Amino acid sequence: MIIMERNATDEQIKRVIDEILRCGLRVDVSRGEFRTIIGLIGDEKGVSFDHLAGLPGVKEVQPVESKYKLVSREYHPDSRIIKVGDVVIGGGEPVFIAGPCAIEGREQMLKTAEEAKSAGANILRGGAFKPRSSVHSFQGLQEEGLKYLAEAGEKFNMPTITEVRGEGQVELVAQYVDILQIGARNMYNQDLLEAVAKMGKPVLLKRNFGAGIEEFLCFAEYIVAQGNKDIILCERGLVPIGKGKEYTRYMLDLSAVPVLKKETYLPVFADPSHGTGRRDLVEPMSRAAIAAGADGLMIETHCNPQEALCDSQQMIMADELKRIIDVCIKIRKIM
Amino acid sequence: MIIMERNATDEQIKRVIDEILRCGLRVDVSRGEFRTIIGLIGDEKGVSFDHLAGLPGVKEVQPVESKYKLVSREYHPDSRIIKVGDVVIGGGEPVFIAGPCAIEGREQMLKTAEEAKSAGANILRGGAFKPRSSVHSFQGLQEEGLKYLAEAGEKFNMPTITEVRGEGQVELVAQYVDILQIGARNMYNQDLLEAVAKMGKPVLLKRNFGAGIEEFLCFAEYIVAQGNKDIILCERGLVPIGKGKEYTRYMLDLSAVPVLKKETYLPVFADPSHGTGRRDLVEPMSRAAIAAGADGLMIETHCNPQEALCDSQQMIMADELKRIIDVCIKIRKIM
Amino acid sequence: MIIMERNATDEQIKRVIDEILRCGLRVDVSRGEFRTIIGLIGDEKGVSFDHLAGLPGVKEVQPVESKYKLVSREYHPDSRIIKVGDVVIGGGEPVFIAGPCAIEGREQMLKTAEEAKSAGANILRGGAFKPRSSVHSFQGLQEEGLKYLAEAGEKFNMPTITEVRGEGQVELVAQYVDILQIGARNMYNQDLLEAVAKMGKPVLLKRNFGAGIEEFLCFAEYIVAQGNKDIILCERGLVPIGKGKEYTRYMLDLSAVPVLKKETYLPVFADPSHGTGRRDLVEPMSRAAIAAGADGLMIETHCNPQEALCDSQQMIMADELKRIIDVCIKIRKIM
Amino acid sequence: MIIMERNATDEQIKRVIDEILRCGLRVDVSRGEFRTIIGLIGDEKGVSFDHLAGLPGVKEVQPVESKYKLVSREYHPDSRIIKVGDVVIGGGEPVFIAGPCAIEGREQMLKTAEEAKSAGANILRGGAFKPRSSVHSFQGLQEEGLKYLAEAGEKFNMPTITEVRGEGQVELVAQYVDILQIGARNMYNQDLLEAVAKMGKPVLLKRNFGAGIEEFLCFAEYIVAQGNKDIILCERGLVPIGKGKEYTRYMLDLSAVPVLKKETYLPVFADPSHGTGRRDLVEPMSRAAIAAGADGLMIETHCNPQEALCDSQQMIMADELKRIIDVCIKIRKIM
């Protein structure tokens, strides 16, 4: 839908119409008392709206169809269910991903896995290639860490997930883990998205902290465009706004959960650990995310959070994880 | 705590110390290898930190004590319980405020009240002085509306609440309703806050959509400073960030709920109607708010939302309200 | 323009059309392959878009006409020029408002005025009713301050401006000053806007720190609706976004300057003092604002900033003010 | 600086002190009436503040030293001057990068380069690997495009710059161009930053649209950590905040320019094309950026913007570029 300026000339209107026809579409022209509005009819895929918006006399271009047809529930109504090992994601039962922020050693990984398993977690996480804000911080054990994660997953019969931070690690990581994670900072990294999508394994895609819902889904589209529909969307918080003290690291946007469930057929998770950055907020925000309709949670746990090398403030212990899982299952049941 | 610049001179340091002593405080000076840090000891109330920060050689002033002692749980550990009629706010049971965005007439008010009551709502709301983004929109029935609200509240034995939009209406509104609401747009309006506080009735204070938690509590402080501690804090969404389509009117910041519960002794509500602006999101976000620990909800309901003159898109009907109240009570019980 | 859902029924479409016709408008219905789009023709003033958006089968309502016709340049192409005393605002020459954040005493006011005048400032500011984030901070000298401001303005032949913080002060303030200022926190305060507009004096309206351009102009509309077109719009910074240290108090949105100049016929100012909160940024951001096309600047100055009771960190002295005014006049000349 | 809770026990305080000593630092303990504050003395590089913040009894950790020592002007006062061919960046004269958003063909590249050169541009840009929000959009000519860019740069004696979108392209791109650009979406991509830094060529690093200044500089630190100090920082706009119509694509944060100039020794550019997304705003925001102190600008130009395949709405033609360059040079001179 193209809205012309009030004083657009007939010539300008004609030029816009010609350009649209040249792209193989048809037009529906509505000449009002004050303005002319031109609707596009047909397949808009090949049309450059940027180009049309730049033509003289055009006030604005308002898209009517969504920008993300491949992941849109309007076009594909059935919810996607993803099976990884024995775990069913998006099937009604909430799924819990747990494990340490960073894999720090074999013992830490095994112990944390054992505790997470007995607390009721379904999938095991652990960071081997850590994205860090400071070049001076611990950057992860890399392949050594992946081995510990795989060993722990196998030992406790838990599918595994880890973040792929850069293109150079895609194949390596895919050898060791069951689900590949794209972190919030890489949501816009289309080269990485395509490389990861091609591995044929489920992908957990985190929303960037500055991204609107529309952008989030447009980038999920990059994965589906490679033929991979096994995508878990994960809300993990937006950049804080407002002045003064930061009480939380990010601002978990839980309304994204029901919005995404409506807009797309993909399962939706939330990450209350990164989303808040505070241990004491993990439990209330876990409950809230499930109550908002999340299909699962990603929670950072550690056998000894106070000794952790990374994100120490937001990791919880197994007893708290168990309490969270128990209450979340109950909340889901009464919904 | 005052952090001096690396190259601050002895003279500059001395001047800062002198200024602090002049205010009747003591200092604790820590001279490090690279910097000098000056701590303040004593009652900081009379100190102008702005002024200190402007002195030469000062890098920054980092406050250690919170800016909102009057409403701070650190200073007053016991939760505040507010009783209005038969309703107990902050006492463990969730409380539900329901009613129309705007009072449109006697019949609409009575019918909506009756339905809200039978759905399980505790408190009746209705707008008589509407804050509107457009001067061309319906602005409310004013005193006529207040009469309908009071009549409906009495008839169905529900305490009432309405927004006081301007100072000119404070006394009038206080004659008709039980709880005075300060809307999000007026959170910073200290003259209005003080005038409302003086009425001696409970105040529901909504968080401004651009306000951090710290600012929110500093303005609650204005009410307590008038001797009125019966304040209900209400989270109702922040300005949307991110590009592209707006899926929700505002962004409900549910992590504010547990943060506020920790920082202050006041009861905390959430408003999923304004917080999302979408009827279909009221239910999931109501569940989420209660699961996050909210003491109650403010939900816009209408006997016939599609005929409403204001906020038609976000109001729900009584059957949905009932479903929400039922599930929220269940969620609270298992927490 | 009303966009129906893909699966909207004929009945739903008919209902929407009926509602529009009932409001006295005509419709232009475009039935596409996938969707029906209904355009409204006629005077939209009486139409409740909220209401239409809530009807079944409606996907969304996309307004085509702007929401602020009264202040819109599209409807009123000629720039507004405001004359106050000898000062011409919006006439091509940049105008400089200077003076202290808060009026602290007669001597301070007179001295600051004298210095501002000789530095080249045109209009004198000074706060008498201070909006403060903390109830414990200095709140202003009130009427006593207004007297000092008026005296200083008269002595140095400078029109005066001060903020009206609440409705209770409107008439009092209007007796003493030439231009009435609505602060950023009160931009949404429609009762105050209307009361101030009725005084018949020019109004400087600051943009709220969480307000989009559209909202800003919708609230300027409240003033024009009272018959007062002498409005100066003032950009003074948005809430900071992003994690970590706050380097500026707010984030001055200078692109608002050319956008506002295009959207409206009103003069546009910027406030680099509040917009940054840092003395050392006042000069570069003053230059930038003028270079972006601002019609004038509002700058906080003080005869002795380090002794100031309020905003000490952002006030500058007369010598710096002079340098700023000189360079800004030169920049304007070469543009 | 570690601030303990008011009720922290001696044991908790002792534990924090022990942990710090264990890291090889010394402590400076200040026991106030209400709180204990522990200062760290020595080299903080090896300390995990995350870990300390997670210890029991710790209220918060307030860093005193900046997180970005390698790029900090406090540690390295001299401004960095970068020479590329005949062009001197950061040397006082403003530098102008111009060229098309996307390289679309040989002829378009040569023509645009010729026009940019005669308009006064110093450096030639052109996108070969385009980051795009939609997988369905034009993604760039890749190596073919690089060849056209290199040819055009050589022909008109202009150093060249292009964005490196993914790690897979680093070496290829480095063969063809003189300056490697990291786009806003990749600012957090530490693997890409390190790979690009190692090429030994100057790097233009754009600020992410959700990043604070502190984060921006922490990621510039990744480049310096590889031994490459030839970094140009570029402000290109933050995510829009506020409700309603988006008048600009992003929100150019020009106060970042003087802040960055103060915090770091690196040259600072601004990109008014992406920062606004509107052709008519490029000129005012170019002037404003230079007036704010920017060392240069990156402006998208095209020989025929209306035919452009990408960002058609924000590209300008050579005549406008010339006007911008001329006025910017004049503004710089009078500053």
What digits encode the pLDDT tens for the residues D257-300?
Answer: 999 999 999 999 999 999 999 999 999 999 999 999 999 999 99
Q: Are B215 and A243 in contact (CB under 8 A)?
A: yes
pLDDT-based confidence at B324, cuts 50/70/90?
very high
Sign of the torsion formed by the C-alpha atoms of D239, D241, D243 and D246: negative
DSSP 3-state of B225: coil
Check residue A114 and give its pLDDT. Answer: 98
Q: Is A66 exposed, middle or buried (CB count within 10 Å of its CB: 0-12, 13-18, 19+)?
A: middle
Choose among A181, A186, A246: nearest CA to A211.
A186
Residue of B nearest to C190 (CA): B131
Residue A54 contacts D, CB cutoff 8 Å: yes
CB atoms within 10 A of CB D179: 22
Q: How far apart are CA B190 and CA C192, in angstroms?
A: 13
Q: How far apart are CA B96 and CA B73, in angstroms?
A: 24
pLDDT-based confidence at A310, cuts 50/70/90?
low
Q: Are D105 and D148 in contact (CB under 8 A)?
A: yes
DSSP 3-state of D282: helix
B46 pLDDT above the threshold of 70: no
Neighbours of chain A (3+ CB pairs under 8 A): B, C, D
Residue A53 contacts C, CB cutoff 8 Å: no
DSSP for residue D102? B
Subunit contact A255:B248, Cβ cutoff 8 A: yes
Q: How far apart are CA D220 and CA D206, in angstroms?
A: 10
Check residue C285 and give its pLDDT. Answer: 98
Q: How far apart are CA A102 and CA C267, in angstroms?
A: 55
Neighbours of chain B (3+ CB pairs under 8 A): A, C, D
Residue D317 contacts A, CB cutoff 8 Å: no
Give CA separation, C19 vs B160, C12, C50, in Å. 33, 11, 13
User: Strand C231-235 vs strand C203-206: parallel, antiparallel, or unpaired?
Assistant: parallel
Choose among A284, D34, A277: nearest CA to B262.
A284
Structure-block tokens of residue C189: 């305060």
Neighbours of chain C (3+ CB pairs under 8 A): A, B, D
Choose among C281, C259, C258, C179: nearest CA to C213.
C259
pLDDT < 50 regions, chain D: none
Per cent of chain C over pLDDT 70 is 97
User: Strand B82-84 vs strand B87-89: parallel, antiparallel, or unpaired?
Assistant: antiparallel
Check residue C29 and give its pLDDT. Answer: 81
Structure confidence by residue, pLDDT tens digits, C106-115: 999 999 999 9
Subunit contact B166:C188, Cβ cutoff 8 A: no
Check residue C225 and give its pLDDT. Answer: 94
Check residue D86 and give its pLDDT. Answer: 95
**Structure-model confidence comparison of residues B113 and D31, the more confident one:** B113
Residues of A in contact with B213 (CB under 8 A): 242, 244-245, 247
Quote the minimal CA–CA distance from A240 to chain C in Å.
6
Q: Is C160 exposed, middle or buried (CB count within 10 Å of its CB: 0-12, 13-18, 19+)?
A: buried
Average the pLDDT over B228-240 and give the result: 97
Structure confidence by residue, pLDDT tens digits, B168-219: 999 999 999 999 999 999 999 999 999 999 999 999 999 999 999 999 999 9
Check residue B33 and give its pLDDT. Answer: 66
Check residue D319 and give its pLDDT. Answer: 96
Check residue D63 and give its pLDDT. Answer: 72
Residues of D in contact with A131 (CB under 8 A): 188, 190
Least confident range of A311-315, B139-143, B290-294, B299-303: A311-315
Does pTM top 0.90 for this prediction?
yes
CB atoms within 10 A of CB B10: 9
**Structure-model confidence comparison of residues C177 and A58, the more confident one:** C177
Query: Residue written as tokens 């910041």?
Result: B253
Check residue C310 and give its pLDDT. Answer: 67
Per cent of chain A over pLDDT 90 is 72
Residues of A in contact with C35 (CB under 8 A): 64
H or E element that contains D39: strand D36-41
Quote the minimal CA–CA distance from A237 to chain C in Å.
12
CB atoms within 10 A of CB D71: 27
Residues of A in contact with C42 (CB under 8 A): 33
Residues 234-273, chain C, touching D (beta carbon < 8 A): 238-245, 247-248, 251-255, 257-259, 262-263
Q: How far apart are CA C314 and CA C279, in angstroms?
A: 4
Sign of the torsion formed by the C-alpha atoms of C67, C70, C73 and C74: positive
Residues 179-198, chain A, touching C (beta carbon < 8 A): none
Choose among D210, D215, D262, D214: nearest CA to D79.
D262
Subunit contact B1:D74, Cβ cutoff 8 A: no
Average the pLDDT over A283-300 and give the result: 98
Average the pLDDT over B152-175 and give the result: 97
Structure confidence by residue, pLDDT tens digits, A186-233: 999 999 999 999 999 999 999 999 999 999 999 999 999 999 999 999
Q: Which residues of B177-215 are buried (b: 16+ CB within 10 A; e: fewer)?
A: bbbbbbbbbbbbbbbbbbbbbebebbbbbbbbbbbbbbb
Q: How far apart are CA B234 and CA B298, in angstroms?
A: 8
Structure-block tokens of residue D171: 């070496």
Structure-block tokens of residue D189: 């991509």
DSSP for residue C225? T
Report chain A's C-alpha Rg in angstroms. Answer: 23
Residues of A in contact with C242 (CB under 8 A): 239-240
Quote the minimal CA–CA distance from C30 to chain B in Å.
23
Give CA separation, B49 vs A29, A307, B20, B64, in Å. 63, 37, 10, 12
pLDDT-based confidence at A4, cuts 50/70/90?
confident
Which residues lie across from A37 on neighbouring strands?
A3, A30
Q: How far apart are CA D108 and CA D300, in angstroms?
A: 13
Q: What is the mean pLDDT of chain B?
A: 92
Residue A62 contacts C, CB cutoff 8 Å: yes
Which residues lie across from A316 on neighbouring strands?
A301
Name, in order, each residue with C-beta under 8 angstroms of C192's C-beta and a sequence gap of 6 or more: B166, C164, C166, C167, C170, C182, C186
Query: Residue written as tokens 């001067």?
Result: B135
Check residue A26 and give its pLDDT. Answer: 83
Q: Which residues of D99-133 are buried (b: 16+ CB within 10 A; e: fewer)?
A: bbbbbbeeebbbbbbebbbebbbbbbbbbbbbbbb
**Count, residues in chain B:** 335
Give CA separation, A262 vs A76, A216, A266, A292, C59, in Å. 11, 14, 10, 12, 13
